[in-house]
């Protein structure tokens, strides 16, 4: 893991209000333990983002999200202030920018991305899911921008 990523994750963990309060009240050991747990958890998320085939980062007006199958990590901040999203994208995790999408109803009605890469594209039901590449096609039709597109790697 790059030293810069660790530095950012440690600084972010140390800046949390709870950890600052523990330090202020003299509970430095507990603050350090919680910060270490936070950094290890975040490193696990980055590892999953690099390894899971359908992991992706999505950014909109409401914040940024890392989708890791069963787990979603999110923040109300833009991607530039989300310490996990930027390193994940820099390491090659697909990035979807939905800020240009104007049809929020169509976006809300999109199926979810299948966790296992399968395609259950039945046109009904809450369990509807599609592959990540099909999801990209649908999003691009709505005006979203995609970086680190795995479709480009598959065709090469």
pLDDT at 127 over 60: yes
CA dist 134 and 117 (Å) reads 10
144: left (phi over 0), alpha (psi -120 to 50) or beta: beta
Higher pLDDT, 153 or 139: 139
**109 to 21, 26, 48, 106: CA distances (angstroms):** 42, 50, 27, 5
Phi, psi of 49, deg, nearest 5: -60, -30
3-state secondary structure of 96: strand
pTM as predicted: 0.78
For the stretch 7-26, pLDDT in tens is: 888 888 888 889 999 999 99
Q: Which pLDDT does position 154 carry in this prediction?
A: 59
Length of the chain: 156
Nearest to 30 by CA among 43, 42, 40, 20: 20
pLDDT at 28 over 60: yes
For the stretch 47-93, pLDDT in tens is: 999 898 889 999 988 888 888 877 888 877 777 778 888 888 888 89
């Amino acid at each position: 893991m790059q030293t810069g990523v660790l530095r950012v994750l440690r600084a972010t963990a140390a800046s949390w209000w709870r950890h600052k309060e523990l330090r202020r009240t003299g509970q430095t050991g507990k603050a350090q333990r919680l910060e270490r747990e936070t950094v290890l958890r975040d490193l696990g998320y980055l590892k999953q983002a690099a390894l899971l085939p359908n992991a992706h980062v999505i950014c909109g007006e409401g914040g940024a999200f890392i989708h890791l199958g069963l787990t979603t990590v999110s923040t109300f901040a833009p991607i530039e202030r989300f310490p996990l999203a930027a390193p994940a994208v820099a390491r090659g995790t697909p990035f979807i920018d939905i800020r240009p999408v104007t049809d929020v109803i169509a976006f809300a009605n999109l199926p979810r991305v299948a966790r296992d890469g399968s395609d259950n594209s039945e046109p009904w039901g809450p369990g509807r899911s599609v592959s990540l590449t099909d999801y990209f096609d649908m999003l691009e039709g709505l005006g979203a921008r995609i970086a680190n597109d795995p479709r480009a790697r598959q065709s090469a």
